[in-house]
């Protein structure tokens, strides 16, 4: 997920006006530590970037693995 998001953001960096990435993180919502490959459970994909003079900040909750 992190690599796919990074690829999309890298493509946007070549647009006009360019997107300038401040951070991209995939973290555990309980303690905001980076999730590791193979993580199962809840996570948050968080991003901050600038497009022109505007700073954008967003996040999306995700769930990895099987759900009951």
Predicted pLDDT at 46:
97
> Is 41:65 a contact under the CB 8 Å cutoff?
yes
Instruction: Pull the structure tokens for residue 12.
Output: 């946007």
Q: Residue 67 above 70 pLDDT?
A: no
pLDDT in tens, 7-66: 999 998 888 888 999 999 999 999 999 999 999 999 999 999 999 899 999 999 999 996
Q: List the domains of the chain with CATH numbers.
A: 2-64 (3.30.1300.10)
Return d(Cα 12, Cα 51) in angstroms, integer: 9
Predicted pLDDT at 68:
59
Predicted pLDDT at 15:
85
Q: What is the rounded end-to-end Cα distance, in angstroms, of the chain?
A: 22
Predicted pLDDT at 61:
97
């Amino acid at each position: 997920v992190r690599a796919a998001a990074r690829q999309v953001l890298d493509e946007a960096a070549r647009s006009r006006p360019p997107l300038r990435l401040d951070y991209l993180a995939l973290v555990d919502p309980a303690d905001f530590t980076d999730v590791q490959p193979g993580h199962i459970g809840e996570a948050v994909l968080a991003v901050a970037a600038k497009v022109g003079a505007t700073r954008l900040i967003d996040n999306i909750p995700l769930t990895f693995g099987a759900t009951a």
